[in-house]
Every structure is written in structure tokens, then in C-alpha cells.
Amino acid sequence: MPIPTLPARRTPTPGRLGLACAAALALTAGTALAQSADLGRVEISGRVFEAPTRYDVLASCTQVEARLQQDLESAWWREQRPGLMDVRFAVTDGKVVAVTTRSGLSFRTARDVRRAVGQLDCPGAKGGTSLYRMQIVFIDPDDMPTRVAGADRQARVALVEMR
């Protein structure tokens, strides 16, 4: 059903629901503004990880290359675009507790990487919280210049430790 318009201004005419909403908003706005002066102090608490960044992912996390290859192969088939993803993650007591990614790849691929890295086991991490950084490279095995040394034709995801 088309919205009726006024002939002179060509703007929608306010209906009963629109007038009721406008009236309700006008009545509550005054009370909300009057109560804003009575607000107390708000404190926000959280945890900040302050630790040196570690790059020894292969030594700290078990089967990281095989696990990422398996978990991210579907991301390669979906996107089929070579790219590099910078991954940072925090490990507490051998379990990944936070993951961030940065790349030019799609949001969906970044989400898949965060999910795959979040499932890693890292028993080699020292007690407390450790921060790790690595790069994951999505490569096309048919493109010779981007092939990783020693990778067979099935390799589609490569883990590159940054030093």
C-alpha cells in the first residue's frame, strides 16, 4: 500500500502511529534530561596483557601447521585469492583466550582464521599469559612465484613465523 503524500510538499503524511511515537518521545525526553544530572561515577575494569610478544608459535603450539591447514582449507576454496593475514593471540595456561587478525582478505576468512587459531592447544606456553604473533599466508599452489619452499601441490595455507 503506497504512503499517502501531501500534494504541495510531497512528504509523507504523519499517521496515527507516527504521532503517538512523536508524543511518547517528547514526553520521555524531558525526564531523561532531568535525570542525567543525578548520574554517579562509573568505573570500568578489565584486563590488559602486558607481556613481550613471542614469535615461537611452532615450538609452543602442538601441530599448529597441520591444524591450520585442515581448518582453513575451506577458506581458500571459498576465496581462492592469495593473501597474507597478521594474527595476534593471547594464551593463558595453554589455551588461546583472545585472537585478533589484520589483512586485506574478506571478513569471513578473518573470522575463519580467528576460529581456527582459537582452537589451538599451546602447552609450550609459559605459565600466565603469553602474547603471540604470526602470519598466515594463503597461497595458490599453481602460482610458482608464491609457492613456499618444500610445499607440495596440495599446500594452500602456510604458516610463516615472524622474526
pLDDT in tens, the chain (163 residues): 555 544 554 545 555 556 666 666 666 666 555 555 566 777 777 666 567 888 888 889 988 888 898 888 888 888 888 888 899 999 998 899 999 999 888 899 999 999 999 999 999 887 788 899 998 888 776 665 544 444 444 445 666 555 4
Strand pairing of 83-92 and 157-160? unpaired
**pTM of the predicted protein model:** 0.61
CATH number of 53-160: 3.30.2420
Q: Could you tell me if 104 and 128 are in contact, meaning their C-beta atoms sit under 8 angstroms apart?
A: no
